[in-house]
Chains A and B, each alone.
Chain A
């Protein structure tokens, strides 16, 4: 698992070398593993730990602190609706419900076909352009419930 020119192990070594102290590579390393596998499985933690010269338990302890790391499998697409105050004041809950209906999944879950994971998130930092929805981490601004079916269509066209 730690061979090949673009192995995760090598990529992580590259990141470690950019910092004065290699420990700083923990978050980037976890992100690289997640980008590769979609989520952080026990196997992914073992790989990251080996590359960082840490224990899997340390890596898991760090990852579990941060919302963007997935400790369970997620769908092929990630739909995140901000429901913090500014978005909620202009109808984020209705946007969320429209996604629940369109994706046939409850917030916090993944659709049965593995197409998408839907979840609410805390303030995404786009409050004046509410409601903010992050589609695979790209922000959509001023989303209204009426926009949701077209957005989901776009995601479906993407596979």
Chain B
């Protein structure tokens, strides 16, 4: 770690890389010029060599994704590159920082990728709430507006969302970009074949694209030496929750979760004990305090039954009630369910209701089983993973803290208002419309 230099956020501590002149002073856009002199296929090959996998959450091999785009003679429609800048996963705020601090590196990545997939049009779908990052990217694009040497005939349109977590799901994002309600499409066809305007489309995450220029600059082989097998390179990890020093930290894959929490994050404030860690955003299976020696890479996290997701690490101290955590997480997914698939739309609501009964001490043990049953009936039965991740996350709280859930059966919550998540007002509880369905007795 000591001699590790960040590559995605590299240089941003020393210089104001939101300025074109500063970015060019450190060699910015030179990689793009070099890439344009190569065949698109050569760029794809270099990415395959690098082992880069998508930083949005699915961790799909980036070069492979690009290679699914049909050749112009196979499909005459224009190719589109769509950037997923809809970062909304609770616990993740890395793309926020990347867009705000290294916008030109991100734009360079977009332009290299456009060359690799033979696209002349890039759409950056940025969540509506990110007004600050939007303005930074807009101003950066303004700076290169007359630089035909940089743009090379490619247009980049920044398209602002309007507040919907589900639009981070790539097909929902495409629906939203087409001007509709952001509800996921059924797959196949995948976006590479029929995406935006039914044309071949690559959808990549912000961090993925900002990693492309440094990969080509150093060479795929050298990049692949960073990190660990199957999780090459670096990751911008978002640290939050009960930590001394929350923030984004770019690290090579393979650092342990313990190092992230105690070395970079500075440990738990107020002399408290770590109780649990959400390792990859609220959609991921929780880890207990004694599971944090795991290496922070894709395979290692899968081995302990969870996932790296979008690299949002949330540390939770010993004051927090796990039933309350379940309520808050379940209410989030209930609010954000797009309503298209019944198991997710109804199931997340039921999960919240059962958890509320538990918290109030009004539930019987059979309802704890009912909760797990509801979770099980969401899993694998929807078009997108939203409901499923909610179910798996909440079921993991029950699984790993079952005694705490059992303790709620007799007389309610042992933590009460000592827990910071007690009686937190979630947006779903703030809406005026009344619920239409109750859990059957």
Contact = CB atoms under 8 A, between A and B. Distances in A.
Interface of A: 18-21, 23-28, 30-31, 61-62, 65-69, 83-86, 88-93, 96, 107-108, 119-130, 134, 137-139
Nearest to A118: B430
Contacts of B242: 89-90
B426 A85 contact: no
Interface size class, chain B: 35 or more
A127 B161 CA distance: 20
B245 to A, nearest CB: 8
The 4 closest A-B pairs by CB, nearest first: A128-B246, A26-B179, A67-B163, A127-B240
B328 interface: yes
B336 A122 contact: yes
Main secondary structure of the interface of A (DSSP, over half): mixed
Contacts of B70: none
Contacts of A23: 178-180
Given A67-B164, A86-B241, 6 more contacts: A24-B179, A25-B179, A27-B179, A90-B241, A122-B426, A125-B87
22 contacts: A18-B157, A21-B197, A23-B179, A24-B179, A26-B179, A27-B161, A62-B181, A65-B164, A66-B128, A66-B161, A67-B163, A85-B91, A85-B278, A89-B314, A93-B420, A119-B430, A123-B332, A125-B88, A128-B240, A128-B248, A130-B240, A137-B129
Nearest to B248: A128
Contacts of B89: 123
A85 B329 contact: yes
B360 interface: no
B197 A127 contact: no
B357 interface: no
Nearest to B87: A125
Nearest to B421: A88
A122 B332 contact: yes
B182 A65 contact: yes
Contacts of A19: 157
Given A123-B88, A124-B129, A83 B160 contact: no
A65 B239 CA distance: 30
B297 to A, nearest CB: 21
Contacts of A18: 157
B176 interface: yes
B164 A129 contact: no
B177 A24 contact: yes
B185 interface: no
A24 B430 CA distance: 30
B90 A27 contact: no
B130 interface: yes
B162 A66 contact: yes
B165 interface: yes
Given A27-B162, A65-B164, A120 B240 contact: no
B162 A24 contact: no
A111 B197 CA distance: 44
